């Protein structure tokens, strides 16, 4: 099947292959919804506050999948005066006013409503939550799997689930995959296009690491900062096979060398009760703050489409904000690193603008940049990036490059997602090449050329001389060490995009990437999807280039566009 090339701002592909595209709705629908939303712009914050204040009842209504009473107004010949009750309305506050259409493809996205309380003395999180789980695959499910990422040995946490119900009825569950997955048995199959509400309670203990700036701690406490990505049971991805019945739940353990999280674009409402002195850095947008005791503050955030929800915090963070194309960008730093913290803010604003121009609009109201116990490295999260302590002082010359790389992940990871263990190149190579595009924009081609030579060409030349060059598209653990992994997946991967750009020319290269984002925004891609995008361009030499540099894994699967 051919994929139509979509221009920015044209009809979006559904987030899930099985989803009925909302394009079937009347053409006037998006404009009407936007108008309606704009009219409600000021009251919407107040409405969201009220909804959040009575969150439980609202959450139950959402989670049961009750649909808005559209039949009512659609049948009426009278002008619509009754407010439309939209289960996705609560998430609008996370999006910029001109980006509310993003939610139109989210009616079949998983929805999380989480409520957690943190005790930083005992390093304990007590949580409860509901997840509306849609079956968007082609086959019935006899079970549903959740990932318990904190139990990965390189996260070092301890997440225990106490209770699970399915649509209100008690459910049986077992742990598997070294306690990093929770298998919930369904009393009857969950059919395609159906959904189930899973309610869970859990307890999480987080680790404490040594207080040294070189520490690389994705999860837990170090240097007065606590990072808690994926502090909740996270719905696993169901990878559909070539034929009905051959799909499997993704429960890969990964390694500390690469990223671990693989998730559907989901919608989150998160309520967290924290010690009042903690400054939280999260995904989403804050909609409510309550002082619940002399020492505790309760926050509520909502997100738009989001791969996960990050909670990161410190009692000593200072911060500053700036605006970029309607998004509030906030930088958080340790008190002694104000110069670095303000520089990170400048780089974040500049790179968010540059990538919005290149790849398409960034739809969210908030984006956050924060120091974290990650040494000289960085890590991407939805609407947030965490950057190692060393980047704010000893490694300051690398701060701009890291900020640009992590910002590019807001397109390549958050919008267009991929299996981070089996095919890490799909987001890392283009996030890395994006740094060069950012540099050209900000500093000119000469600096970008030098960067390309030093950061990618030279290390890859050394690999070739040592006889350890290999193809870009391979699983994280297939590389012989971290150096080969980073040099090939990031460096050679970036050089593949440089070669692709040379073949296509600047403007076609840009259109190619924009079409690729538009075709897969909020979805998940595999090598075959990238190859299919190359086929659409209609130049056989591009496929040859792909084969030589990226590899022939996808070519072995299919030599023609799959079109999913
Ligand atoms: Zn990256």
Rounded to the nearest angstrom, the distance between the alpha carbon of 464 and the centre of ligand 1 is: 23
CA 337 to ligand 1 centroid distance, Å = 23
CA proximity to 429, closest of 491, 366, 351, 510? 491
Among 47, 65, 83, give the residue marking a domain's end: 65
Place of tokens 């012989």: 480
Q: What domain count does the chain have?
A: 3
Check residue 434 and report its DSSP letter: H
Please state the rounded mean pLDDT for residues 307-319: 98
Which CATH number fits the domain that encloses residue 459?
A: 1.10.390.10
User: In angstroms, what is the span from residue 428 Cα to ligand 1's centroid?
Assistant: 5
Do both 449 and 399 map to the same domain? no
Q: Token pair of 268, please?
A: 């989150």
**Spacing, Cα 343 to ligand 1 middle (Å):** 20
Of residues 320 and 74, the one with the higher pLDDT is 320
From ligand 1's centre to the CA of 549, what distance in Å?
Answer: 19
Q: Which residue has the higher pLDDT, 557 or 87?
A: 87
How many CB atoms are closer than 10 A to CB 182?
26
Question: Is 70 a domain residue?
Answer: no
The rounded Å distance from CA 78 to ligand 1 centre is 53
Q: How far is the CA of 514 from the centre of ligand 1 (A)?
A: 19
Which region among 76-80, 98-102, 402-406 has the lowest average model confidence (pLDDT)?
76-80
For position 141, what pLDDT does the model report?
97
Does residue 224 contact residue 314 with C-beta atoms inside 8 Å? yes
- pLDDT tens column, 184-237: 999 999 999 999 999 999 999 999 999 999 999 999 999 999 999 999 999 999
311: which strand partners?
228, 282
Q: Cα of 116 to ligand 1 centre, how many Å? A: 29
- Measured in Å, residue 493 CA sits from the centre of ligand 1 at 12
| Pick from 413, 347, 336: nearest CA to 379 | 413
In whole angstroms, how far apart are CA 183 and each of 146, 195, 268, 393, 516?
A: 7, 17, 22, 45, 34
Does one domain contain both 509 and 394? no
Convert 515-548 into a string of H (helix), E (strand) and C (coil): HHHHHHCCCEECHHHHHHHHHHHCCHHHHHHHHH
In a domain, 521, yes or no: yes
SS3 category, 53: helix
CB 103 within 8 A of CB 91: yes
How would residue 482 be classed by pLDDT, with cut points 50, 70 and 90? very high
Contact in structure between 518 and 10 (CB atoms under 8 Å): yes
Q: Please check whether residues 166 and 197 belong to one and the same domain.
A: yes
299: closest CA among 339, 270, 319? 270
How far apart are alpha carbons 549 and 530 in whole angstroms? 14
Question: Is 122 in the same domain as 18?
Answer: no
Q: What is the DSSP letter of 487?
A: I
Q: 38 C-alpha vs ligand 1 centroid, how far in Å? A: 35
Residues in the chain, overall count: 564
Question: Is 151 a member of any domain?
Answer: yes
Q: Say how many C-beta atoms besides its own lie within 10 A of residue 324's C-beta.
A: 18
Query: What per-residue confidence (pLDDT) applies to 84?
Result: 59
Q: Separation of 379 CA from ligand 1 center, angstroms? A: 7
Structure token pair of residue 257:
């060398």
Question: Ligand 1 centre from 377 Cα, in Å?
Answer: 9
Gap from CA of 378 to ligand 1 centroid (Å): 8
Q: For residue 308, what are the contacts with CB-CB under 8 A and spacing of at least 6?
A: 229, 230, 234, 261, 263, 283, 381, 382
Dist. CA 409 → ligand 1 center (Å): 7
Do 407 and 429 belong to one domain? no
Reported as a single tens digit per residue, the pLDDT across 35-59 is 333 334 434 443 333 333 332 232 2
Distance between Cα 380 and ligand 1 center (Å): 7
Give the pLDDT confidence score for residue 72 in this predicted structure. Answer: 30
Nearest to 333 by CA among 350, 346, 345, 324: 345
Residues 49 and 150 in one domain: no
Q: What letter would DSSP give residue 208?
A: B
Contact present, 249 and 238 (Cβ < 8 Å): yes
CA 383 – ligand 1 centroid, Å: 14
Q: If you search the block for the tokens 């040294």, which residue do you land on?
A: 212
Domain around 38: 1-65
Closest alpha carbon to 385 in 442, 345, 438, 443 = 345
DSSP reduced 3-state for 66: coil
Does residue 78 sit within a domain? no
209 alpha carbon to ligand 1 midpoint, in Å? 23
Whether 431 and 402 share a structural domain: no
405 CA to middle of ligand 1, Å?
6
Whether residue 471 sits in one domain with residue 516: yes
Write the pLDDT tens digit of every residue in 314-367: 999 999 999 999 999 999 999 999 999 999 999 999 999 999 999 999 999 999
Ligand 1 centroid to residue 486 C-alpha, Å: 10
Residue 20 has pLDDT above 50, yes or no: no
Residue 430: band (very low, low, confident or very high) from pLDDT cuts 50, 70, 90: very high
Nearest residue to 424 (alpha-carbon basis) of 527, 499, 511: 527
Taking the centre of ligand 1 as the mean of its atom positions, its distance from the CA of residue 485, in whole angstroms, is: 12
In a domain, 131, yes or no: yes
Among 415, 449, 483, identify where a domain stops: 415
Ligand 1 center–CA 431 separation, angstroms: 6
| Ligand 1 centroid distance, CA of 122 (Å) | 32
Measure 141 CA to ligand 1 centroid, in angstroms.
33
Q: Which residues pair with 146 in a beta bridge?
A: 182, 235
In whole angstroms, how far apart are CA 154 and each of 262, 411, 490, 554?
16, 26, 22, 30
Is 86 part of any domain?
no
244 shares a domain with 144 = yes
For residues 549 and 86, the model is more confident at 549
> What is the whole-number distance in angstroms between the Cα of residue 429 and the centre of ligand 1?
8
Does 439 lie in the same domain as 379? no
Query: Given its phi and psi angles, is residue 9 left (phi above 0), alpha (psi -120 to 50 degrees) or beta?
Result: left
CATH code, 177: 2.60.40.1730
Q: Model pTM? A: 0.84
d(CA 273, CA 271): 7
pLDDT for position 131: 98
CA distance 56 to 65: 15
Q: 528 and 482 in one domain?
A: yes
CA of 280 to the centre of ligand 1 (A): 23
Output the CA 120–ligand 1 centroid distance in Å: 29
Asked if residue 34 belongs to a domain, the reply is yes
Q: Is residue 349 part of a domain?
A: yes
Q: Which of 415, 443, 462 is the last residue of a domain?
A: 415
Q: How far is the CA of 332 from the centre of ligand 1 (A)?
A: 20
In this structure, the answer to whether residues 191 and 287 fall within a common structural domain is yes
Q: What are the tokens at 85?
A: 């009750």
| Structural contact between residues 346 and 378, judged by C-beta atoms closer than 8 angstroms | no
CA of 408 to the centre of ligand 1 (A): 8
Mean pLDDT, to the nearest integer, of 498-507? 97
Within a 10 A sphere around the Cβ of 486, how many other Cβ atoms?
17
- 412 Cα: distance to centroid of ligand 1 (angstroms): 9
């Amino acid at each position: 099947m051919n994929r139509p090339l979509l221009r920015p701002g044209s009809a979006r592909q559904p987030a899930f292959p099985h989803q009925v595209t909302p394009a079937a709705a009347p053409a006037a629908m998006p404009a009407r919804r936007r108008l309606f939303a704009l009219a409600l712009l000021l009251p919407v914050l107040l409405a969201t506050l009220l909804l959040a204040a009575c969150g439980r009842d609202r959450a139950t209504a959402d989670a049961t999948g009750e649909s808005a009473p559209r039949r009512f107004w659609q049948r009426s010949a009278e002008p619509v005066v009754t407010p439309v009750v939209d289960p996705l309305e609560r998430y609008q506050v996370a999006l910029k006013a001109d980006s509310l259409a993003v939610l139109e493809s989210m009616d079949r996205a998983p929805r999380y409503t989480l409520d957690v309380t943190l005790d930083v003395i005992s390093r304990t999180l007590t949580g409860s939550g509901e997840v509306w789980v849609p079956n968007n695959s082609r086959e019935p499910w006899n079970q549903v799997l959740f990932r318990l990422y904190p139990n990965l040995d390189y996260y070092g946490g301890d997440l225990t689930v106490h209770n699970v119900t399915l649509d209100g009825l008690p459910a049986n569950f077992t742990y598997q995959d070294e306690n990093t997955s929770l298998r919930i048995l369904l009393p009857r199959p969950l059919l395609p296009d159906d959904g189930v509400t899973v309610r869970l309670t859990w307890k999480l203990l987080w680790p404490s690491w040594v207080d040294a700036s070189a520490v690389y701690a994705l999860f837990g406490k170090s240097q007065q900062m606590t990072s808690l990505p994926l502090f909740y049971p996270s719905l696993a991805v169901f990878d559909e096979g070539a034929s009905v019945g051959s799909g499997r739940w993704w429960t890969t353990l990964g390694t500390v060398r690469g990223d671990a999280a693989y998730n559907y674009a989901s919608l989150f409402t998160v309520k967290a009760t924290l010690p009042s002195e903690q400054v939280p850095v999260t995904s989403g947008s804050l909609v409510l703050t309550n002082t619940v005791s002399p020492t505790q503050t309760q926050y509520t955030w909502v997100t738009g489409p989001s791969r996960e929800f990050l909670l990161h915090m410190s009692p000593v963070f200072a911060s500053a904000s700036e605006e970029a194309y309607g998004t509030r960008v906030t930088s958080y730093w340790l008190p002694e690193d104000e110069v670095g913290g303000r520089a990170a803010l400048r780089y974040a604003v500049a790179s968010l603008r540059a990538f919005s121009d290149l790849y398409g609009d960034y739809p969210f109201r908030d984006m956050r940049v924060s120091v974290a116990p990650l040494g000289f490295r960085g890590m991407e999260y939805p609407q947030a990036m965490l950057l190692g302590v060393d980047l704010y002082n000893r490694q300051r010359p690398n701060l701009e490059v890291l900020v640009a790389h992590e910002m590019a992940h807001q397109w390549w990871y958050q919008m267009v997602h991929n299996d981070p263990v089996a095919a890490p190149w799909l987001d890392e190579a283009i996030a890395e090449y994006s740094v060069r595009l950012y540099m050209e924009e900000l500093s000119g081609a000469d600096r970008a050329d030098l960067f390309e030579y030093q950061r990618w060409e030279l290390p890859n030349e050394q690999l070739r001389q040592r006889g350890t060059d290999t193809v870009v598209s391979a699983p994280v653990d297939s590389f012989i060490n971290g150096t080969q992994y980073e040099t090939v997946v990031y460096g050679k991967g970036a050089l593949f995009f440089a070669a692709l750009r040379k073949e296509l020319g600047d403007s076609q290269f840009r259109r190619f990437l924009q079409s690729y984002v538009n075709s897969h925004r909020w979805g998940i891609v595999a090598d075959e999807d990238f190859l299919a995008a190359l086929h659409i361009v209609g130049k056989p030499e591009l496929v040859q280039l792909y084969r030589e540099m990226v590899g022939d894994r996808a070519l072995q699967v299919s030599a023609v566009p799959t079109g999913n």
